[in-house]
Structure 1
């Protein structure tokens, strides 16, 4: 959602609010990038 509002949010800020580590944020982000889109 930060991309939609053109707002810069760091991994540190996201991890603090979500109460998870920055490493988890990075890993999930990479998993999302690697995921293939599902054909409809």
Structure 2
């Protein structure tokens, strides 16, 4: 049970990092496309 809790926490952290990277990437893409207009 403890092992599962640790794995879940690691997944939550990974998910958080991935969301952060994706959000930053999307923002940069939007900045570039609005700069081109």
TM range (shorter): 0.3 to 0.5
TM-score under structure 2 length normalisation: 0.42
Identify which of structures 1 and 2 has the higher relative contact order when contacts are C-alpha pairs closer than 8 Å and 6+ apart. Answer: 1
TM-score, normalising length from structure 1? Answer: 0.40
Select the structure of larger CA radius of gyration. 2
